[in-house]
Chain A
Amino acid sequence: MKLRDYVLIRVLLSIPMILILLSVVFLILRVIPGDPVVAILGPKAPPEQVEELREKLGLNDPIYVQYFKYLGGLIRGNLGESILTGRSVSEEILERFPATLELSIVSMTIASLLGVFLGVESSRRRNTPVDVSIRVYSLAIYSIPIFWLGLMFQLIFGKYLGVLPISGRISPLMEPERITGLYLVDSILELNLRAFLDSIEHLILPSLTLGLVLSGVVVRMTRANMLEVLEKDFILASRARGVVERRVIYKDALKNALIPVITMMGLQFALLMGGAVLTETTFSWPGIGSYLIMRIGYRDFSAVQGAIVFYAILVASISVLVDIICAYIDPRVRY
């Protein structure tokens, strides 16, 4: 199969998945008992006001009409209007997305570098104290609630050492001009060193928190794959040829062990997004996760629905993208 055909089929196959997810979101937010209007206005609201809002939100239409209106809006990229601010939910989300993206990229980088390194070292020293401690690390890090790790970092680095800021993305009034929305990139483009350093300072604790928690999974996957690859004949052959051990491990073995790790990291994207919600809330990071939680607090259900739909589409797109990358790296996947 040509890569182009594979991409086409993979994209088509993702459509039912996205449709199912969108329907589940609709089902959860509209059909589950509980009247959103009462939730928004409170139980003591005057009936005329309730009726007016019901009409405005289209809740008086039959459920299937609401469903098709909802899907129709989504196709046009319209996530509706926020009940709280009256602004377009898609706009609000796109405004905050770069913050989540920046946090995710940096955390994922930390998780991959640390995770792959520890995983490799653990596999080449199988059953030594080093291996055991690395395995204990990956188990322990799984057991630590992300937000608690964040709180501990805030306590140590924010309170006791007082060296790092514990909330926000950048100090007030230092925001660089919005070009990409990623502060690290924008401040470089603006040649604004102060803003760059300041946003790095703000990024350290949140990304370390999220990165460390995600690294546990990477360690486990890398270790398992490396152990398998290290048994292979070509590794024995390399060693027999007298190739330096470090080269055998990091070049020959790791290259082969890494493909399944990359696939798995794509699947970990869902974990990353869930973790980001907790991290953003802990560090008042102005991304989509904290937006979601904040709007739940205000009972702004159109914004909540918009944020969740956005996550659904994001997750589905990433899984398509990962599959395509894998098909590109390893042609066997296509057949």
Chain B
Amino acid sequence: MLERKMVFLGSSILLAFIAMSVLAPLCKYDPTRGVDEELLPPSREHIMGTDNLGRDVFSRVIWGSRTSLLIALISVLIASLSGIPLGILSGYFGGKMDRILSMIMDSIYSFPGLILAIAIAAVLGPGVLNVSLAIAAVYIPTYFRVMRNTVSKVKNELYVVAARALGAGDLLILKDCVLPNLIPSIVVISTINVADAILTEAGLSFLGLGITPPTPDWGYDLSNGQRFILQGAWWLVFFPGIMIVLVVMGLALLGEGLSEILNPILREEE
């Protein structure tokens, strides 16, 4: 029962997040331009106050969800579309290729993900696509490892051996016997991946390696707001951060609930 509640709560938060980014144009103020005096505390006019350039913090927070969602989705797509096929092929065909690939992936996996992303982002420079690539690179090994281990286990199951004995080709076996076993893991990993990607993106932008101004971005706005902490401008750092916490928590709830419900295989992996 607890799992179902987690999934429900998590997906509600996620839906709200998506709605927010879709409906961002309804905001009253332009997020990239100063619309009032600088550093105004929250009031009826600006419910989250204004920043050091007189921009409306509420608009920036809402528009920021777009940046965050966009980068998270692109990076998850890149990571899964490269990690999943590589993992399946490696696990299914085995051999030398598998050993080499696994070793490379394990090495990358052992390295601190954020630092890898920092290195790639530093070389590629800022921008939506570059940041997405940097984040994706960190998660390719995660997809690869889970896919590879599941496939190499499944391919020796009796029903697969039977299918092969009946003359089924590799393609048919992969499609009909192997793939259905992978779907639950893919769903769970990608959910957690989106959460991690949002955190990593915020981190990179906080460090000045992600999205550049004036594009609204939670991580960038937090690093900008840090300069005004001693002046007591709490609204600059409070609101963008609490958004990240809510969204990531929603996704984490969803991921955790889903994994309890659909995934006895994944639990063994851990």
Question: Is B252 on the interface with A (CB-CB < 8 A)?
Answer: yes
CB-CB under 8 A for A296 and B209, given A139-B256, A140-B249, A151-B241: yes
Q: Are B252's CB and A142's CB within 8 A?
A: yes
Q: Are A281's CB and B207's CB within 8 A?
A: yes
Instruction: Convert B97-114 into 0s and 1s, putting 1 for each residue whose CB lies closer than 8 angstroms to a CB of A.
Output: 000000110111011111
Q: In the complex, what residue of chain A is closest to B108 when comparing beta carbons?
A: A24
CA distance A221 to B190 in the complex (A): 22
Q: Are B195's CB and A151's CB within 8 A?
A: no
Instruction: Convert B39-59 into 0s and 1s, putting 1 for each residue whose CB lies closer than 8 angstroms to a CB of A.
Output: 000000000000000000000
Q: Which of B103, B118, B230, B245 contacts A17 (CB 8 A)?
A: B103
Which range contains the number of B residues in contact with the other chain? 35 or more
Q: Are B118's CB and A277's CB within 8 A?
A: yes
Q: In the complex, what residue of chain A is closest to B199 when comparing beta carbons?
A: A145
CA distance A138 to B209 in the complex (A): 28
Instruction: Convert B207-222 into 0s and 1s, putting 1 for each residue whose CB lies closer than 8 angstroms to a CB of A.
Output: 1110000000001001
Q: In the complex, what residue of chain B is closest to A17 when comparing beta carbons?
A: B107
Q: In the complex, what residue of chain B is closest to A271 when comparing beta carbons?
A: B112
Q: Which residues of B contact A308 (CB under 8 A)?
A: 115, 119
Q: Which of B108, B115, B245 contacts A145 (CB 8 A)?
A: B245
Q: Are A277's CB and B245's CB within 8 A?
A: no
- Interface size (A, Cβ < 8 Å)? 47
Chain B, range 122-140, C-beta contacts under 8 Å to A: 122-125
CB-CB under 8 A for A273 and B112, given A34-B123, A144-B245, A159-B230: yes
Of the listed residues A139, A145, A159, A282, the one surrounded by the most CB atoms of chain B closer than 10 A to its CB is A145
Q: Are B118's CB and A292's CB within 8 A?
A: yes
Q: Are B110's CB and A296's CB within 8 A?
A: no
Question: Is A319 on the interface with B (CB-CB < 8 A)?
Answer: yes
CA distance A25 to B208 in the complex (A): 21
Chain A, range 11-29, C-beta contacts under 8 Å to B: 16-17, 20-21, 24-25, 28-29
Q: Which residues of A contact B114 (CB under 8 A)?
A: 274-275, 277-278
Chain B, range 202-250, C-beta contacts under 8 Å to A: 202-203, 206-209, 219, 222-223, 225-226, 229-230, 232, 234, 237-238, 241, 244-246, 248-249
CB-CB under 8 A for A28 and B115, given A151-B226, A319-B110: no
CA distance A143 to B110 in the complex (A): 22
Q: Which of A32, A147, A158, A166 contacts B222 (CB 8 A)?
A: A147
Q: Are B113's CB and A270's CB within 8 A?
A: yes
Question: Is B120 on the interface with A (CB-CB < 8 A)?
Answer: yes
CA distance A16 to B234 in the complex (A): 49
Q: Chain B contact residues: over half helix, strand or loop, or mixed? A: helix
CA distance A304 to B122 in the complex (A): 9
Q: In the complex, what residue of chain B is closest to A274 when comparing beta carbons?
A: B114
Q: Are B112's CB and A274's CB within 8 A?
A: yes
Q: Which of B118, B122, B229 contacts A151 (CB 8 A)?
A: B229
CB-CB under 8 A for A145 and B119, given A24-B108, A270-B113: no
Question: Is A123 on the interface with B (CB-CB < 8 A)?
Answer: no
Q: Interface of A with B (CB < 8 Å)?
A: 16-17, 20-21, 24-25, 28-29, 32, 34, 139-140, 142-148, 151-152, 154-155, 158-160, 166, 270-271, 273-275, 277-278, 281-282, 292-293, 296-297, 304, 308, 311-312, 315-316, 319
Residue contacts A-B, CB under 8 angstroms, 26 given? A21-B110, A24-B108, A28-B120, A29-B119, A139-B252, A140-B245, A143-B195, A143-B245, A145-B202, A145-B206, A145-B245, A147-B206, A147-B222, A148-B237, A155-B238, A270-B113, A274-B112, A274-B113, A277-B115, A281-B206, A282-B226, A292-B115, A292-B118, A296-B118, A308-B115, A319-B110
Instruction: Report the 7 A-B pairs with minimum CB-CB distance, sorted nearest first.
Output: A274-B114, A148-B241, A143-B249, A143-B248, A274-B112, A20-B107, A270-B112
Q: Interface of B with A (CB < 8 Å)?
A: 103-104, 106-108, 110-115, 118-120, 122-125, 195, 199, 202-203, 206-209, 219, 222-223, 225-226, 229-230, 232, 234, 237-238, 241, 244-246, 248-249, 252-253, 256
A17-B103, A139-B256, A155-B238 known; 5 new pairs, CB 8 Å cut-off, are A145-B248, A151-B225, A270-B112, A278-B203, A293-B208
